[in-house]
Structure 1
Amino acid sequence: MRFISLILLCVIYTARIFAQQPAHIQLTEKDGLPDIEIFNIIEDSKQFIWLSADKGLFRYNGREYKHFTHPKQRGNAVFGVLEDTQGRVWCTNISGQFFYVENDRMHLFLDLSDKLRGLISEFLVSDNILYVLSAQKLFKIPIKTSEITLLKNNRGFIGSYSQHNRGYVYSSFNMLYFTDKEFVIQDSLKLDMIKSFDEESGIIRRINTFHDDETSFIYFLKFGKNTFYSTDFENQSISAIEIPERLEQTLITHISKYHDQFWISTDNGLFVCELQSNNLRIVNHWYNKIFVTKTILDKQDNFWISTKGNGIYLIPNIGIYHYPMSESLENITELESIDSNEILFGTNTGYLSKYNIKYHKSAIIDSSGANRVSKIVKAQFDKDFIVAKEDKTFLYKSNAEELLEISSDFNGAKDISVVNGGYLISLYNGVKLVDLNYNLEESLGETRSYANCYNLEENSIYVASVNGLMFKPDGAELKEIFSDGKKMYIKVLDISTENEVWAGSFKSGIYKLKNGNVVKHITKRDGLLSNIITEIKCDDKGLWIVTDLGLQYYDFLTKTFKSITKQDGMPTYRIADILPIGDYIYMASNNGMFRLDKSTVFKPRKTADIYIANIKVDSEIKTLKSHYNLDYDENAIEITLNVNGFQTSENLKYQYRLIGLGNKWQTLRGSDPQINYNSLPSGNFKFETRTITSSGEIGEPINLTFKIARPFWSTWWFYVLIILTVGFLAYLFFRRKINVLKQRQVEALQQEMVSKQLVLSQLENLRSQMNPHFIFNALNSIQEYIVMNEKDLASTYLIKFSRLIRIYLDHSRENEVVLSEEIKALKIYLELEKNRFEDALDYSIHVSDNLSTSDIQIPSLFIQPYVENALKHGLLHKNTNRELDISFNLDRLETKLFCTIKDNGIGVEASKELNKGRRPQHRSFATSANEKRVKLINQNRNEKIKVTVNSNSDIDNDYCGTEVIITIPLKSYRYEGFNH
């Protein structure tokens, strides 16, 4: 198309200067920094960052800050933080207290308030000795004894010290001393320019020193200006150092040396200087008007810049510089070089501007419209540029500072390539080929296109669209390119100086193309950080690649990758455009423009050391050690991992395994690496963990071991104990069983014997009750009645006798009979015996009113033998007045039956006298039988039957006779072995 209008350059603003400075991250309280007034900063041997600040002492482990304090600490602010050879971190405060941190606790070592009197002192710890340099005094204090020794006491002030490999350098009055590590002076240098410390000399009293193996100098204030002198102990010489004017009026707080440059921290920012031939030259001045207190370089090559009031500035990569822009120019979308010193750039808000990288000046060319600049490309005429916005397209003539609006066919162009005699344009509605006058020559499809490129060597066109990657050789139709038979969805295209086409895909990595064919496919397996590609750009030696996980450079010669992630200082991964210029790479981002120094931007990869930060057993924090012996119920284990260093964990993955549970490595993602084992079995375990970087580098593993004891019920000794116990119990059981069986056999035998004896006893009782005398007397009586022809008496007597015999025979078959039956038998028996005594016998049987004779059972054939004894041994030997009284009563509780048989016979003693003439050991048959039977019956009773024989003479001397009391318990009666 022809030009439709000519638009004069809208506005050229007065150049605005933007200070170039390294890409940094500012840490303040909103980022979790506990204080923004930082006095000192160090990195210890374990890569912890320590901060002495106005609010106290803090330690940073890459994820969080830990505050250390002591109950006796006076005031919060601490100064002079340092680490000794034992790994203890020391600090002091304005009150003269000295503290150290060991085993995660702050300890108060010494209080020198009476000697320091509120002066902030410098100190150091060497070989377990604390040295304190303050005002005119130098103290030596062994840590073991805390004994204070004064090494030096001057009228002049003692200056700061510098440490070197062999010892220290410090000033005192007008002398500079070189000492060993025990502060024993090895050499000295007189400072001739310092004669006194009075006001006329104009010299501030504190002399600061800097000394390393290559450089040695002192600096101090003289008449309000910084003054530097180089020092040479070997040649005993002092030489003035020329310094820039900007450095003269600043307050110098600290000097460090990195990469042969001096980093000078001041109250007016950070000066990076070089010292050549006693001439100090400023290379860079950063953080203007900010009070910088100290700068350190950590083991991951990150610069930490502490400030008083602005927190910390962290420079992860000194090879990345940031060009801050005004807010309207910050969100940059396109870059193109005008020449080696000027860059043309467009923004998301539609601004077209240029930037002078030599003088750091920017100028706005066009601010019309609010639609983003989608593409800037060099036209085919020298220093002419096609600028495509979403709503307009311009031709910018940089030589004439003219801005011309051209064909609307370019509006919103996604990509523009210069071809022979025209331009190839990717648009939302297809790809168009136009001539140099922007007239349409050919339309290549009608689908949305993302990118295109023209290969001059092949004279071919490559087009990336929503339908795939297309290829058009010279004079041929468009055809699709496939990779292993699959469609290729490409986001960006670029061509190298060797005419090789490189394609970055949406999620399949990178392809190298030749003559419409895929000749190389690179993915994560080959070293890509990610298969998601957002931008690529070729330079003369390699390919710059932007992924969602970082920036990479692919070397065409070595076919290797170098990576830059946020850990390496990459400010953002939202890179819209890449522009190589000489030794630098310029990048457009949503946060302005960045410059990468090709020679220094790639930091040497240092694998961060992983460590176990915390271990909990059953939610209880344990002291860290290499091995743990745990009980069986201490099986819930939580392990927290960490790597020190800023943003280190964000660019690492953690791998771990628990040998004993499995040997496969597992990967842990996330910024809070925590492993939980909720219920581990018993056994021996070895926990191993390691890091793996985004590029696949694996760190050295670390491990800890622990043993979870078996529960006592699953240990071998418990099994043995159980077996022994079961065996012993089985032995006891069977032994008891056998004993019970034996006992039962014995009891059965005893029962059998008792039964037999009871039977015999009953038979004996029966014999006693049916003894020959009784039967003979009864039969004689019957015979006598018959002879005397007293048939009725004979019949009555015979009936009673037969009835008694029948009762005895019936009772002999029973173990027990009711009391009424026993009383009935006694009555018949006594009636028959009364006849024997020719009626010279008076007897009575009394039963108490509360006694129910039909409900009470007593042993059968039990009472009669005692009645027979009363008759036979007591009453038989009396001729007249024979009395026999039998009574049955219950006790008050009605639990015992008392049977009392009382006679007025001759008595026990008289009976014994009569029996003396008989055969030896003669005893009544009935009496002995009854005694045996009582013993047998009592064997089966809980409460025993008792038989008590009392002589009436024991009661009344004038009265003879015998009383037999039979006590029969009615309750708790048991009788085994017989059926009733």
Structure 2
Amino acid sequence: MFKNLKLIFFLFFIPMHAQNYSSKWYGNGYDNGNGEDLPQNSIKDIIKDKYGFIWVSTKSGLLKYDGRKFLLYKDFDHVFGGDFFGNVDKDSIVVSDGRNERSIIISGRNPAWSKNNNDNNFLIRDNKNRYQRLIKNSLLNDLTVDFYYIRIGSGIYYLNKNGYIEFENKKKLKKENINFKYTEKNLKNIFSYDDYLFIAEPEQRRTVLFHEGKVYYDNTPTLYNDPKTTIYWHQATGQVFILNRGNIYISNWIQHTLVLTHLVKYENIEREFSTSMFYDEEFGKLYMGTLTKGLNILTLSKFYTSQKQIPYTHESVYAALPYSKNSVITEEGFEYYRDKIKTVFPYRLASDSRTLLYDSSHNLLYESSAMIQRRSKKSGFIKKDSLPLSHEIKAIFRSGNENMATGFDEKVIRRFLYFFTDKNFTHIKSKMEFPSAVNIVMSLNDDFLYVGCTDGLYLISVKRNKIERKLADNIAIKNIVKTKDGNFWVTTYGDGFFFLNNNTLFKLPNDRNNYLADAHMILEDHKSNFWISSNNGLFKVAKKKLLSYVKDKKKIVNYYRYTTEHGFLNNEFNGSSTPGANILEDGDFVFPSMEGFVFFNPDEIKTYFPNRDHIFIERASIDSKPIAFKNNLSIEGTYKVADIYIDIPYYYKDIENTYMEAKFEKDMEGEWKFINSDRKYTINKMPPGKYNLLVRFMISEDGTFAYKKVGVEILPRFYETFLFQISVIVLGLIIIVYLIKIRTNFLNKKLKKTNHTLTITKVKLKNESQYQQKLVESISHDITSPLKFISLLSKQLREIDSPSIQKEYFESIYESAEQLYKFTLGLKSYTQLYKESIHIESDEYVLYNLVEEKILIFQNIAKQNGTFIENICDRNLKININRDVMGAILHNLIDNAVKHTVKSEIIISTEIGDSYVEIKIADKGTGMLKEQMDYYADLLQGSDEFKDYGLGLHMVVQLVKKINSQIHFQANIPNGTIVSVSLKSTTIKT
């Protein structure tokens, strides 16, 4: 404990300062430099052209910087880090090649080799001496030449090695001696303004002034002639810097008086050995180049980050209270100013209190260890005690006339809000219960309060000690701010921020990156601008824009975001504290952050926007090939991707504050798209035509946009040109006419062929009609055979008296008649086979059974002839060929066999092969003549000849053709005929 006290008291004597700049290195691996932006670390000179671009001379070439990227000009391979000269206002900057042999002219934002030898005139010769131009563009001050000259408005000053100075008036063109002798050591302290030349003499603590060849002395000790001062003078920019004890000043000549303005305290200036320097007043950037470490860009800021800077202690801060007109005090006992820190009382450094209040005696009250702690002002806040409460306290609040504290009971989940009788928090007068933690309380009037909880927003009545309404649900309230106009504004945990009016929340738009979804605290300046802290930057917005948005959701709200680019040490601010920020008597705003308290006066903080005329669209990359253009860009139709670069000297990495958008339009149609920090617009494959690329960006915080338009023409490929299209149309018409002619000839030929076919078909139809007529006659003839048999048996029956024979005849007649009856039942379908197209396939059936049916018709006839019919077909063979067709074929073949076979046998069998099945009907009758067999074979192949060999086989051949099968006739040895019908195997199932 004693050691800790010693440390804290020791801090009273430790000087602590606030930092008001951020630093970014560019180079090959030094500090934060990533080595990707600069070719190497040797920086010789820095200058800014009239268009706002920064130019850097290095030992590896010439660089142009637009605030985002360094563009290396590789066409000047003999540039070895020369110095910049020339006239910026006249758009003529000259840089030598490092050997003073050739010069480069930078004009119109682009460098080119100089065609004028006078641009490289670094030497002046007279009868005796050679004078070299004095170059003070370096802090090294390595002046090793005997004779120098300095050219200013009224003439030329010649500096001789003996220490004497001569002046040549440009009107008289005559040298005149000046009664002054300089020392070589003091040449490093020389600089000029307009027609005035200055030399500081630290040994005598005086400053010598030369004007039109006359010398004047100022014996006043100043920083100019301080022995600890280093003077940097850049002839081209006219800037003069004074470096003294880690402080950097910029000098100005105002009403014939030298005036110094402090820029920044930078302790490392001597260690980093800067060789060149440029201050961009417009954007508050200080560029420092070195020969070994690269380029360091300091963003000078009016934001001051105040830190305690105690070793091994974090800088994260939360609640603080105004302590003096320009400082705040924390629970830890530190008093923070914008530029220093003091310790008010010793205290442990590990505390993390989120609420801090003064009581009626101006004692400090805060929550610690679940109790309200009090530090006595009378003791200088050294003495402390805790207030005697029987409840565990989480936070304390004061709003309006009410003094409150939130507490919790470990036995239940619900939270309590306690109301106290006075500012000293000594007695509890009432309490209210809430379903979740209370984060903030804000007074509406003497009776009503807004209570923000983790589950929503409540309206409560103090007088009735009850919750009146729940105004919002499922929103975690972080803070409620009441502005000077009486309006309320609400921040939340992750749900954005709201305008609260008449107990209704109105959602306000987030920034384009949604950082305001987790806004912390809102402070209003005297110009009615809101300053909103967040986890990623500080935002500025005009209150009137937010109120306009509440009335009309179509209104655009533009936020200006401040980040480390503007001088913060860290982008993350802290919230969830009471108070969440403070406004001091001197006008300073104080916000807590992860790196200490950020102080600033809103009137001193600038918003940085590009100049209306400083946007240039003149570079592109077509399929990774860079090109330059003016006003209009032509792209070959064969391209794959085109990038159009938007060059704008805006010296912040992220251009979100400019709200830059681009629209690629044709016929005034197109959609605005945000331009990212790469500052380019990509055109993917588009149809040929003329387009416009319209770019807009914000140039002031009132939302004013500037516009820039360039024409883009995507050239058609050869087959997309108008001439090619006309040629294609003409060729197409010729082809169409030719095709019509070919088609006409083809149709005529086809018509002739069709007429010929119709003629043949007509003949065939006629033959078919005759053929069918003969087939019907054949059917009648085939029916006659069984009828004739029945008639014959009937006649014999009359002549025979034997009852047994009569019975036999009767049975034969009956059986034949019955089979004939069955045959005639199918006669209708039988005849249809010749009138309509038939379905070849049908349901499966057993072939053996069909053969048996046909045998029954002719069995009695065969029996009378002494002929035996045997069916030895496969009993399991199933086929799905149309049953009527197969029945007709078998009927006629068996009929024909019975007619020509007497006292013999007829055998019907089947033979099953790999790809076929044959039905064979073999008889041993009289047989067929070879002439008949050949005739039927020819008939099967399509012969139109018709011979009267019996119509039954004609019908069989016709039906066999219909089912796409084959029939063969061959002689049976020694006598008779074998008829084979071959069926396709796809129709057979066994």
TM-score interval for Structure 1 and Structure 2 normalised by the shorter chain:
0.5 to 0.7
1:489-568 matches, within 5 Å, as: 489-496=476-483, 501-506=488-493, 511=498, 517-518=503-504, 523=509, 530=516, 532-538=518-524, 542=528, 543-547=530-534, 548=536, 550-552=538-540, 554=542, 563-566=560-563, 568=566
Whichever residue aligns with residue 16 of structure 2, its letter is F
Structure 1 residues 612 and 620: CA distance shift in structure 2, 3 A: same
C-alpha offsets along residues 463-487 of structure 1, whole Å, 9 cap, x if unaligned? 111222222344134446677x877
Whichever residue aligns with residue 271 of structure 1, its letter is Y
1:11-26 matches, within 5 Å, as: 11-12=8-9, 13-26=11-24
Whichever residue aligns with residue 31 of structure 1, its letter is G
The equivalent of 1:434 in structure 2 is 420
The equivalent of 1:195 in structure 2 is 180
Structure 1 residues 429 and 705: CA distance shift in structure 2, 3 A: same
Structure 1 residues 480 and 299: CA distance shift in structure 2, 3 A: farther
Asked if residue 458 in structure 1 is aligned to residue 464 in structure 2, the reply is no
Secondary structure of 2:318's counterpart equals strand
C-alpha offsets along residues 650-683 of structure 1, whole Å, 9 cap, x if unaligned? 4244422222287233223532244433321122
Q: Is the 8 A contact 2:223 2:229 kept in 1?
A: no
Q: Is the 8 A contact 1:42 1:51 kept in 2?
A: yes
The equivalent of 1:400 in structure 2 is 379
Q: Percent identity?
A: 11
The equivalent of 1:340 in structure 2 is 325
Q: Does 438-447 or 459-468 show the bigger shift?
A: 438-447
Which of 280, 300, 303 is the aligned partner of 1:320? 303
TM-score normalised by L of structure 1: 0.58
Structure 1 residues 241 and 519: CA distance shift in structure 2, 3 A: farther
Q: Is the 8 A contact 1:529 1:694 kept in 2?
A: no
Structure with greater strand share of residues: 1
Question: C-alpha separation between the residues in 2 aligned to 1:49 and 1:167?
Answer: 29
TM-score normalised by L of structure 2: 0.58
Question: C-alpha separation between the residues in 2 aligned to 1:190 and 1:587?
Answer: 62
Question: C-alpha separation between the residues in 2 aligned to 1:282 and 1:696?
Answer: 30
Secondary structure of 1:445's counterpart equals strand
Structure 1 residues 99 and 373: CA distance shift in structure 2, 3 A: farther
The equivalent of 1:678 in structure 2 is 684
Q: Is the 8 A contact 1:423 1:433 kept in 2?
A: yes
Which of 658, 662, 666 is the aligned partner of 2:672? 666
The equivalent of 1:50 in structure 2 is 55
C-alpha offsets along residues 155-199 of structure 1, whole Å, 9 cap, x if unaligned? 98435556xxx78775656668697xxxx458999896x5335xx
Secondary structure of 1:463's counterpart equals strand
Question: C-alpha separation between the residues in 2 aligned to 1:511 and 1:734?
Answer: 75
Whichever residue aligns with residue 596 of structure 1, its letter is F
Asked if residue 599 in structure 1 is aligned to residue 613 in structure 2, the reply is no
Question: C-alpha separation between the residues in 1 aligned to 2:485 and 2:738?
Answer: 98
The equivalent of 2:354 in structure 1 is 374
The number of residues matched between the two structures is 682
Q: Does 679-688 or 494-503 show the bigger shift?
A: 494-503
Unaligned runs of 5+ in 1: 1-6, 111-124, 141-154, 741-980
Q: Is the 8 A contact 1:529 1:695 kept in 2?
A: no
Asked if residue 355 in structure 1 is aligned to residue 336 in structure 2, the reply is yes
Whichever residue aligns with residue 304 of structure 1, its letter is L
Q: How far has the Cα of 1:699 moved from its partner?
A: 3.7
Question: C-alpha separation between the residues in 1 aligned to 2:545 and 2:68?
Answer: 39
Q: How far has the Cα of 1:270 moved from its partner?
A: 0.7
1:798-817 matches, within 5 Å, as: none
Structure 1 residues 156 and 206: CA distance shift in structure 2, 3 A: farther
Q: Does 371-380 or 167-176 show the bigger shift?
A: 167-176
Question: C-alpha separation between the residues in 2 aligned to 1:185 and 1:481?
Answer: 88
Asked if residue 704 in structure 1 is aligned to residue 710 in structure 2, the reply is yes
C-alpha offsets along residues 222-241 of structure 1, whole Å, 9 cap, x if unaligned? 36577424555599865445
Structure 1 residues 312 and 429: CA distance shift in structure 2, 3 A: farther
Q: How far has the Cα of 1:338 moved from its partner?
A: 1.6
Which of 250, 255, 280 is the aligned partner of 2:229? 250
Question: C-alpha separation between the residues in 1 aligned to 2:508 and 2:175?
Answer: 64
Question: C-alpha separation between the residues in 2 aligned to 1:474 and 1:519?
Answer: 22
RMSD over equivalenced CA pairs, Å: 5.1
Q: Is the 8 A contact 2:180 2:215 kept in 1?
A: no
Which of 655, 661, 664 is the aligned partner of 1:655? 661
Q: Does 426-435 or 441-450 show the bigger shift?
A: 426-435
Q: Is the 8 A contact 2:694 2:708 kept in 1?
A: yes
Whichever residue aligns with residue 320 of structure 2, its letter is L
Q: Is the 8 A contact 2:224 2:242 kept in 1?
A: no
Question: C-alpha separation between the residues in 2 aligned to 1:262 and 1:444?
Answer: 67
Secondary structure of 1:534's counterpart equals coil
Q: Is the 8 A contact 1:529 1:550 kept in 2?
A: no
1:270-309 matches, within 5 Å, as: 270-271=248-249, 283=262, 286-291=265-270, 292-293=274-275, 295-298=277-280, 300-308=282-290
Q: How far has the Cα of 1:253 moved from its partner?
A: 1.6
The equivalent of 1:579 in structure 2 is 582
Q: How far has the Cα of 1:595 moved from its partner?
A: 1.9
Which of 175, 178, 190 is the aligned partner of 1:208? 190
Question: C-alpha separation between the residues in 1 aligned to 2:490 and 2:192?
Answer: 54
Which of 145, 148, 151 is the aligned partner of 1:158? 148
Structure 1 residues 343 and 480: CA distance shift in structure 2, 3 A: same
Whichever residue aligns with residue 597 of structure 1, its letter is N
The equivalent of 1:475 in structure 2 is 463
Q: Is the 8 A contact 1:256 1:264 kept in 2?
A: no
Q: How far has the Cα of 1:605 moved from its partner?
A: 4.2
Structure 1 residues 612 and 263: CA distance shift in structure 2, 3 A: same
Q: Is the 8 A contact 2:533 2:539 kept in 1?
A: yes
Q: How far has the Cα of 1:686 moved from its partner?
A: 1.9
Secondary structure of 1:721's counterpart equals helix
Q: How far has the Cα of 1:243 moved from its partner?
A: 0.5
Question: C-alpha separation between the residues in 1 aligned to 2:97 and 2:280?
Answer: 25
Question: C-alpha separation between the residues in 1 aligned to 2:444 and 2:361?
Answer: 18
Q: How far has the Cα of 1:455 moved from its partner?
A: 3.4
Which of 295, 313, 316 is the aligned partner of 1:331? 316
Which of 628, 631, 648 is the aligned partner of 1:643? 648
Asked if residue 27 in structure 1 is aligned to residue 25 in structure 2, the reply is yes
Structure 1 residues 472 and 242: CA distance shift in structure 2, 3 A: same
Q: Is the 8 A contact 2:189 2:201 kept in 1?
A: no
Structure 1 residues 659 and 60: CA distance shift in structure 2, 3 A: same
Structure 1 residues 282 and 493: CA distance shift in structure 2, 3 A: same
Structure 1 residues 208 and 509: CA distance shift in structure 2, 3 A: same
Question: C-alpha separation between the residues in 1 aligned to 2:301 and 2:47?
Answer: 19
Structure 1 residues 40 and 500: CA distance shift in structure 2, 3 A: same
Q: How far has the Cα of 1:549 moved from its partner?
A: 5.4
Structure 1 residues 731 and 67: CA distance shift in structure 2, 3 A: closer
Question: C-alpha separation between the residues in 1 aligned to 2:230 and 2:667?
Answer: 61
Q: How far has the Cα of 1:596 moved from its partner?
A: 0.9
Asked if residue 617 in structure 1 is aligned to residue 618 in structure 2, the reply is no
Q: Is the 8 A contact 1:170 1:178 kept in 2?
A: yes
Q: Is the 8 A contact 1:56 1:78 kept in 2?
A: no
Q: Is the 8 A contact 2:487 2:500 kept in 1?
A: yes
Question: C-alpha separation between the residues in 2 aligned to 1:556 and 1:714?
Answer: 54
Secondary structure of 2:330's counterpart equals strand
Question: C-alpha separation between the residues in 1 aligned to 2:460 and 2:728?
Answer: 87
